[in-house]
Structure 1
Amino acid sequence: MAKRHAENISIGDALKEFIENNRLEKGLDKVNAKEAWDRVMGVAIAKYTTDIKFDRDTLYVQLSSSVLREELGYGKEKIIKMLNEDLGKDLITKLVLR
């Protein structure tokens, strides 16, 4: 049974506590990383993205264009930085383009 707080707390704080208590943060990080890729990279690159997986600290991105994969490979560090800024924390340390 969940603890009941005597004081009033905000909904945001209640949700954070729920996520921490039920160990849901890893799953949410996976979803957030996928959504961040689409937001940061835009529609043009998302169109060539076939699969995105986040495991531990690595983001695996499957691309349907070998030319695009080569071009993005030159800016991996910048892409990682932009994704982490969008996520609001240093979640991704390595990017693997397939």
Structure 2
Amino acid sequence: MAKRSNENLSMSDVLKEFVETNKLERGLDRVNVRDAWTSLMGNGVNNYTTAISLERDTLYVQLSSSVLREELSYGKSKIITMLNEELGKDLIKKIILR
């Protein structure tokens, strides 16, 4: 049974400790990246986005439009910066558009 402490902790501290203890941060990062992509790119891009996955420090985005893929490839560094700012940490180093 887990040890119970008598000190009062905030809910955010308890959740942060739970995530670290159970090594859930990587999975949460994957979910947060999808949410960040959806909120930053808007409906125009999201309508053509078929899959998003985060592997280590590389974001893989599958698009159904080759024209959009080419257009987004010109602004990869800006997209990386915007996503990292939205996530609050330097999580993405590279984007691969498929």
TM-score tier (shorter): over 0.9
| TM-score, L = length of structure 2 | 0.97
| Structure 2 residue aligned with 1:39 | 39
| Structure 2 residue aligned with 1:25 | 25
The number of residue pairs the alignment matches comes to 98
CA deviation string 1:44-98 (max 9, x = no partner): 1001000001110000000000000000000000000000000000000000000
Unaligned runs of 5+ in 1: none
Q: CA deviation at 1:4?
A: 1.9
| Structure 2 residue aligned with 1:10 | 10
Distance in 2, Cα, partners of 1:24 & 1:9 = 20
Unaligned runs of 5+ in 2: none
Identity %: 66
Distance in 2, Cα, partners of 1:55 & 1:9 = 33
**Which consecutive segments of 4 or more residues in structure 1 shift more than 4 A?**
none
| Structure 2 residue aligned with 1:73 | 73
